[in-house]
Amino acid sequence: MSRAPACPIPEPLARALADARSIVVLTGAGVSAESGVPTFRDAQTGLWAKFDPFELATPRAFARQPGLVWDWYAERRAAVARALPNPGHRALVAIEGRAPSFLLATQNVDGLHHRAGSRSIVELHGSLARVRCSREDREVAAWDEPAPGEPPRCPDCGAFLRPDVVWFEEALPAAAIERAEAAARACDLMIVAGTSAEVHPAAALPWLARAAGATIVEINPSATPLTRHADHALRERSGVALPAWVASAWPASAAPDAAGGGAK
Ligand code: NAD
């Protein structure tokens, strides 16, 4: 007796992926949830349970309590280093390997897409892996041990160092968002996975693609403001839906790639 597939994919959806000429993927925190990296909307655990991430990830919070914000990011960096890419990350590597044109625009700062093997990536919100000077805005690779309760200081100018991520209320790097917008306007398939589709300007990318006539497919166990405007909505976890979609689009060859790709 054969078992029903974990996530049934309608035939037109399988064809849309296999036939797409230009694919843009927008990912958010949900894609890394199955790697054990919590979304901001999930309850915070342990020591950090009493802090609201939407309050900590702001320039105001860093100005008021730089040591607290630095420590929170240090803990997130350590948690991400322990995490591994999941089948959803790897399925996107398989899609990139088959699509004639592909761009992955991610709001995630965890580096898991890179570690899964994705190459054509634009990091809209920066990366936890990098640190920059809060005054000079340039990347800093090494610093001295900080005073207790403070972030480390820039070896050149003495200002506090900060994570190279985009905080709420800050502008995105212009080159990153411009590249993503241009690709969104030119794609024929946009996949929107694991994002609440509420944090702008990234949330506008599917609308640009839709206005240009692209097919929009959302993958999210919960409904978002985008859901009823998408051509297809797969109400499933990305670690289940994306490999199933790859396997249905390329039945002969997809399974090894979707499952492979290797964590680094
Ligand atoms: P979000 O927290 O606003 O939304 C997460 C979405 O993922 C929700 O809609 C939820 O229903 C969905 N989701 C949860 N589990 C899922 C799964 N297994 N598969 C598919 N979808 C799932 O996240 P956002 O839209 O990325 O925006 C919030 C901000 O938080 C962004 O700026 C992002 O940079 C930042 N953030 C990043 C990380 C990370 O790098 N991993 C983690 C937390 C927050």
Q: Work out how many domains the chain is built from and give that number.
A: 2
Are 245 and 150 found together in one domain? no
Among 7, 37, 39, residue to substitute to test ligand 1 (most atoms within 8 Å of Cβ): 39
Contact 85, 58 (CB under 8 A): no
Q: Is 39 in the pocket of ligand 1 (CB under 6 A)?
A: yes
> In this structure, is residue 225 part of a structural domain?
yes
Would you say residue 262 has pLDDT above 70? Answer: no
> In this structure, is residue 17 part of a structural domain?
yes
Are 205 and 242 found together in one domain? yes
> In this structure, is residue 218 part of a structural domain?
yes
- Domain containing 147 — which CATH number? 3.30.1600.10
- As a whole number of angstroms, the distance between CA 236 and CA 91 comes to 14
Q: Is 217 in the pocket of ligand 1 (CB under 6 A)?
A: no
Residues of the chain above pLDDT 90, percent: 83
- Domain containing 25 — which CATH number? 3.40.50.1220
Would you say residue 255 has pLDDT above 80? Answer: no
C-alpha distance from residue 202 to each of 108, 164, 179, 209 (Å): 11, 18, 12, 12
Query: Over the chain, what is the mean pLDDT?
Result: 92
The pLDDT, as a whole number, for residue 174 is 96
Are 178 and 50 found together in one domain? no
Are 210 and 146 found together in one domain? no
Are 154 and 240 found together in one domain? no
Q: Whose CA is nearest to atom 3 of ligand 1?
A: 196
The pLDDT, as a whole number, for residue 42 is 75
User: Starting at the edge strand that comes first in sequence, how are the strands of the sheet with 215-219 ordered?
Assistant: 121-123, 101-106, 22-27, 189-193, 215-219, 232-234
Domain boundary among 143, 165, 187: 165
CA of 13 to the centre of ligand 1 (A): 24
- Domain span at 139: 40-82+131-165
Are 105 and 236 found together in one domain? yes
What would the pLDDT profile of 62-91 be if each residue is shown by its tens digit?
999 999 999 999 999 999 999 999 999 999
What would the pLDDT profile of 90-149 be if each residue is shown by its tens digit?
999 999 999 999 999 999 999 999 999 999 999 999 999 999 999 999 999 999 988 889
Are 27 and 101 found together in one domain? yes
> In this structure, is residue 100 part of a structural domain?
yes
Are 91 and 160 found together in one domain? no
- pTM for this prediction: 0.93
